């Protein structure tokens, strides 16, 4: 989710970004952007680990088949080969800082006995929560914020400082997200059959930009140059659910982000997130979060 400095490679409607890093210090420059509710970037993936920190705003992050709400103070960690897109809440904007790096090369001289924490297999796949809650894990999000600050200010000794911070980040991830608790991460989770997701990029992009409006599955299928039955089959295989439940998941997470960060009425939140029937919104929200919208707030 960064501003691009390298030429992206097209793949079936999406973007694969190749990021050149200095072999002596494989960390990119820090980058910052502010975006509204309609992203100016397509769902994409890249070949280096990406760290992001949200300074302002709320919204939802779409990462592969996963959907996460985010707010200011949260951070995100996106491994390679995970298609992703962030969208701000309706009527709002978000401000993020981003950086890409290769931790294996950056920390190549870490003693072998400590090297297990450099492995990032726990940080991808269906069971990993890429968006890190800043209130639940301030030590992790704060570490990512410090890495961005060091790479922005570039003061004396910033390189060893960044190395130390990245090493600390990986140790914290190892502490709070051990592989034994990540849902039995499998080789399939790590490598990812992202070719199925690639075919759906036009539909995912459309859903992200229009979830507050009625969405027609037949139109999504046409965007992907598929018949509707084939589209439904491919969508379920790639995203783990049918198009309508996926759309509902995005709407509910967007509503949760608005409830946490604004004083809009429940009715306004429901309407902004695509619900014209308040009782239907309340019922679906309760099913997803085990509490009513007012209690959640």
Domain that holds residue 280: 200-296
Inter-residue contact 201 to 239 (CB < 8 Å): no
Q: Do 24 and 67 belong to one domain?
A: yes
pLDDT score recorded for residue 183? 44
pLDDT of residue 44: 75
DSSP letters for 17-76 = E----BTTB-BPPPEEEEEESS-SS-SEEESSEEEEEEEE-EEEEEETTEEEEEETT-EE
Last residue of a domain, which of 127, 159, 190?
190
Residue with tokens 């029937």: 277
C-alpha 33: how far from chain center: 15
| Judgement on whether residues 55 and 91 belong to the same structural domain of the protein | yes
> Which of 138, 162, 190 is the endpoint of a domain?
190
**Are 19 and 128 in a shared domain?**
yes
One domain, residues 216 and 185 = no
Question: In the chain, which stretches have pLDDT less than 50?
Answer: 1-14, 113, 180-193
Same domain, 75 and 185: yes
Q: Based on C-alpha coordinates, what's the Rg of the chain? A: 19
The tokens describing 55, both together, are 């300074």
Last residue of a domain, one of 130, 165, 190: 190
Q: How many domains does the chain have?
A: 2
Same domain, 168 and 208: no
- Same structural domain for residues 150 and 48? yes
Residues 77 and 167 in one domain: yes
Sign of the alpha-carbon torsion through 187, 49, 9, 32: positive
pLDDT of the residue at 195: 62
Is 105 among the domain residues? yes
Same domain, 109 and 17: yes
Within this chain, do residues 110 and 152 fall inside the same structural domain, yes or no?
Answer: yes
Residue 13 zone, left/alpha/beta (φ > 0; ψ -120 to 50; rest): left
Instruction: Let me know whether 136 and 264 are in one domain.
Output: no
The per-residue DSSP string of 183-208 comes to: T---HHHHH--HHHHHHTHHHHHHHH
- pLDDT for 38 equals 67
Residue 3 lies in a domain: no
CATH number at residue 125: 2.60.120.280
Q: Are residues 211 and 265 in the same domain?
A: yes
Dump pLDDT digits (tens) for 106-160: 987 776 545 555 567 667 777 788 999 999 999 999 999 999 999 999 999 999 9
| Cα 283 from Cα 253, distance rounded (Å) | 14
Q: Is residue 154 part of a domain?
A: yes
């Amino acid at each position: 989710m960064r501003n691009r400095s390298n030429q992206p490679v097209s793949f079936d409607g999406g973007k694969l970004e190749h990021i050149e890093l200095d072999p002596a210090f494989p960390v990119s420059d820090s980058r910052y952007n502010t975006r509204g509710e309609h992203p100016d970037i397509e769902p994409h993936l890249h070949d280096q680990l990406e760290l992001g920190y949200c300074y302002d705003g709320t919204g939802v992050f779409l990462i592969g088949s996963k959907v996460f709400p985010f707010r200011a103070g949260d951070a995100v960690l996106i491994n390679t080969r995970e298609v992703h897109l962030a969208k701000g809440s309706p009527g709002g904007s978000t401000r993020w800082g981003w950086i890409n790096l290769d931790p294996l090369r950056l920390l190549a001289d870490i003693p072998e006995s400590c090297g297990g924490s450099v492995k990032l297999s726990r940080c991808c796949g269906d069971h990993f929560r890429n968006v890190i809650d800043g209130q639940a894990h301030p030590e992790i999000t704060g570490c990512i914020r410090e890495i961005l600050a060091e790479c922005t200010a570039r003061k004396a000794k910033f390189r060893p400082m960044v190395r130390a911070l990245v090493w600390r980040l990986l140790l914290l991830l190892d502490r709070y997200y051990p592989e034994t608790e990540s849902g039995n991460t499998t080789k399939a989770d790590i490598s990812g059959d992202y070719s199925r997701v690639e075919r759906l990029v036009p539909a995912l992009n459309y859903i992200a930009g229009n979830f507050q409006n009625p969405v027609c599955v037949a139109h999504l299928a046409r965007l992907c140059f598929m018949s509707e039955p084939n589209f439904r089959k491919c969508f379920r295989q790639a995203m783990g659910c049918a198009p309508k439940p996926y759309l509902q998941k995005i709407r509910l997470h967007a509503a949760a982000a608005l409830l946490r960060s604004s004083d809009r009425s429940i009715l306004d939140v429901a309407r902004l997130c695509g619900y014209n029937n308040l009782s239907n919104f309340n019922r679906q929200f309760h099913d997803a979060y085990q509490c009513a919208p007012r209690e959640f707030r």
